[in-house]
A and B are shown apart, each in its own frame.
Chain A
Amino acid sequence: MEKKLSRLLIHTLSILPALWIGWQIWLWYSFLPHELSANPIEYITDFTGNWTIRFLLLTLSITPLVKLTKWRLLKYRRAIGLYAFLYGLLHFLNYMMLDYFFNWSLIIEDVLKRPAITFGMAGFAMLVILAITSFKFTKIKLGKNWTKLHQLIYILAISVTVHNYMMVKADVLIPLIHATILSILLLYRLYLNWSKRRERAKRQLA
């Protein structure tokens, strides 16, 4: 019961930003007052992009939190990761449909010529790969390779944070906060790796 409740809570909280932006887009398309500023597409871009990074950072926080607090959070990791995918997908669709309206020549030029967009697209491609291999049966099927494949999240998160930093015109505060959190989370992994190896070395000596 308690488990079900906490799962419900996580899903409700995670879907709220998507519901809110959907509602605002509906208001905008109905020519009703909305919160999306005079330039709604720019607002949607920032909003969905920021939520993608937040969910990626949350996903990467699960392991450290489990190790440090012993909370049993691991079972929620896949769901939170999939929410990162959901917001990334909205961000991507907004770019393709609302922003560039399938103007392929401009989109292709953007992706190939502008590193900021290249990093974003690469990040999204990795996010898609991780999302479609997130099912239980693919996990079983891929076996050990699944773990290896899903280590892509480290590269993905770096790529997306670089994209975030590069897209900002002048004020890099928010991207820097994202980058700082990401660095801490990645350094923690390096530390885990290092301590594991030291343990092993000790055992071998003994």
Chain B
Amino acid sequence: MLIKIKNSWDLSEKDVTSEEDFFSRRDFVKAAGIMGVGSAVNLMTPALAGAYQAETPPSGKYNGSDIKDEQTVLSAITSYNNFYEFGIEKDDPSKNAHSLVTKPWNITVDGHCENPGEYAVEDLVNFNALEERIYRMRCVEAWSMVIPWVGVSLSQVIEKLKPSLSARYIYFETLEDVEQMPGQARNIIQWPYREGLRMDEAMHPLSIMAVGLYGRTLENQNGAPLRLVVPWKYGFKGVKSIVKISFVEEKPNTSWMRLAPQEYGFFANVNPAVSHPRWSQASERRIGDFRRRETLMFNGYGEMVAGLYDGMDLRRNY
């Protein structure tokens, strides 16, 4: 830890940090953790920073350079998809998603925010601020990929919409249109697909709105034109082809929770210690590998995100 905290029993009542300060300080610690040792040193002692600069990405954000050599081949990313809107087999989306029309595309924003309304993708996502983020993607079915996404921080999008304090959760919906999404002819899931995050999860710098991968515009089967990526959660949290964003007070009842509440929770954090009732989550198969590998807590992003769940029982809040 970078900030030395004195023993609490040394302090008198008047030294107690106000709640406001306490939380903003925690945010600072979290931010420092995300930026990595280099930039944290940079912030605190500018003179020492130089030596670390080279290893820190220019934006100071985690971008996945540590796993860039593990990237899954593009053909697998675009041909092996769970996107039931286009069929239940893994190769159905790549075969059927051509019927989706992504231009023009409107996203309805409503709920507790200052700027509700209809937005085009370009109005929500600043295409001048696009970044590459190489993330692990761990599916709840125990396979995984490494994907070089292109997108912007979800927090950037949210800041534009100015949620009010009563917005405790953000809720997303995928398009529902059986003409464009033939898989919706069957009621496997109660359409439209619904997902959500707690606001602090959504504001976390690792959460992104992706519009591309491998430096190219998203293919329809990967959730064009706009999808969520939350790398420390199981893949199903990454809602695709988003048409609606709401800022809400109540925890949204998301699609997989509705379908099987004892198997899929709201948080859906990757956790090797909490098994799916029907299969183990302790290991996974990276697409392209012959052998399984161990699944990492929070999909390997624990250092950056574990603080979001301090004091929570992750066995119960799966």
- Taking Cβ atoms with an 8 Å cutoff, the residues of A that contact B are 37-39, 41-42, 98-101, 103, 106, 109-110, 113-117, 166-167, 169-171, 173
Report how far A166 CA is from B263 CA in the complex, Å. 12
Report how far A101 CA is from B275 CA in the complex, Å. 19
* B75-106 near A? 1/0 per residue, CB < 8 Å: 11001100010001011000000000000000
Report how far A98 CA is from B290 CA in the complex, Å. 8
- Selecting from B60-68, B110-118, B220-228, B277-285, the interface stretch reads B277-285
Check B88 against A116 for contact (C-beta < 8 Å). no
Which residue of the partner chain, among B91, B189, B277, B285, contacts A170 with CB atoms under 8 Å?
B189
Report how far A117 CA is from B279 CA in the complex, Å. 8
Q: Can you identify 8 A-B contacts, CB atoms within 8 angstroms?
A: A37-B79, A106-B280, A106-B283, A114-B278, A115-B278, A167-B278, A171-B84, A173-B186
In whole Å, how far is A96's beta carbon from the nearest beta carbon of chain B? 13
Check A170 against B259 for contact (C-beta < 8 Å). yes
Within 8 Å CB of B280, what residues of A? 106, 109-110, 114
**B292 interface hit (Cβ, 8 Å):** yes
| Residues A171 and B143 in contact in the complex (CB < 8 Å), given A38-B76, A109-B280 | no
* B180-195 near A? 1/0 per residue, CB < 8 Å: 0000001011000000
**B216 interface hit (Cβ, 8 Å):** no
Report how far A106 CA is from B79 CA in the complex, Å. 29
| Residues A101 and B291 in contact in the complex (CB < 8 Å), given A37-B90, A38-B76, A170-B84 | yes
Within 8 Å CB of A110, what residues of B? 279-280
Q: Which residue of B lies closest to A43 (CB)?
A: B90
Q: Which residue of B lies closest to A105 (CB)?
A: B282
Check B143 against A42 for contact (C-beta < 8 Å). yes
- Taking Cβ atoms with an 8 Å cutoff, the residues of B that contact A are 75-76, 79-80, 84, 88, 90-91, 141, 143, 186, 188-189, 259, 275, 277-280, 282-283, 285, 287-288, 290-292
**Residue of A166, A169, A171 with highest tally of chain B CB at under 10 A:** A169
List 15 extra interface pairs beyond A114-B279, A115-B278, CB under 8 A.
Answer: A37-B79, A37-B90, A38-B79, A38-B80, A39-B80, A39-B287, A103-B283, A114-B277, A166-B278, A167-B278, A169-B141, A170-B84, A170-B189, A171-B84, A171-B88
In whole Å, how far is B183's beta carbon from the nearest beta carbon of chain A? 10
In whole Å, how far is A42's beta carbon from the nearest beta carbon of chain B? 7
Q: Which residue of B lies closest to A101 (CB)?
A: B291
4 shortest interchain CB distances as A-B pairs: A38-B80, A38-B76, A171-B88, A116-B278
Report how far A18 CA is from B318 CA in the complex, Å. 40
Check A170 against B188 for contact (C-beta < 8 Å). yes
In whole Å, how far is B234's beta carbon from the nearest beta carbon of chain A? 12
In whole Å, how far is B25's beta carbon from the nearest beta carbon of chain A? 42
**Residue of B275, B277, B278 with highest tally of chain A CB at under 10 A:** B278
Q: Which residue of B lies closest to A35 (CB)?
A: B91
| Residues A101 and B292 in contact in the complex (CB < 8 Å), given A38-B80, A38-B90, A170-B259 | yes
In whole Å, how far is A175's beta carbon from the nearest beta carbon of chain B? 12
Within 8 Å CB of B79, what residues of A? 37-38
Report how far A132 CA is from B278 CA in the complex, Å. 30
In whole Å, how far is A33's beta carbon from the nearest beta carbon of chain B? 10
Report how far A98 CA is from B289 CA in the complex, Å. 11
Within 8 Å CB of A167, what residues of B? 278
Q: Which residue of B lies closest to A171 (CB)?
A: B88
| Residues A106 and B282 in contact in the complex (CB < 8 Å), given A37-B90, A170-B189 | yes
Check B188 against A38 for contact (C-beta < 8 Å). no
Report how far A171 CA is from B90 CA in the complex, Å. 13
| Residues A39 and B275 in contact in the complex (CB < 8 Å), given A106-B280, A106-B283 | no
Q: Which residue of B lies closest to A170 (CB)?
A: B188
Within 8 Å CB of A117, what residues of B? 278-279
Within 8 Å CB of A103, what residues of B? 283, 292
Within 8 Å CB of B76, what residues of A? 38
| Residues A170 and B90 in contact in the complex (CB < 8 Å), given A37-B79, A41-B285, A101-B292 | no
Within 8 Å CB of A38, what residues of B? 75-76, 79-80, 90, 287-288
Within 8 Å CB of A115, what residues of B? 278
Within 8 Å CB of B75, what residues of A? 38
In whole Å, how far is A98's beta carbon from the nearest beta carbon of chain B? 8
Q: Which residue of B lies closest to A107 (CB)?
A: B280
Which residue of the partner chain, among B84, B278, B285, contacts A39 with CB atoms under 8 Å?
B285
Which residue of the partner chain, among A37, A98, A109, A166, contacts B91 with CB atoms under 8 Å?
A37
Q: Which residue of B lies closest to A174 (CB)?
A: B88
Within 8 Å CB of A116, what residues of B? 278-279
Report how far A187 CA is from B283 CA in the complex, Å. 41
Check B143 against A39 for contact (C-beta < 8 Å). yes
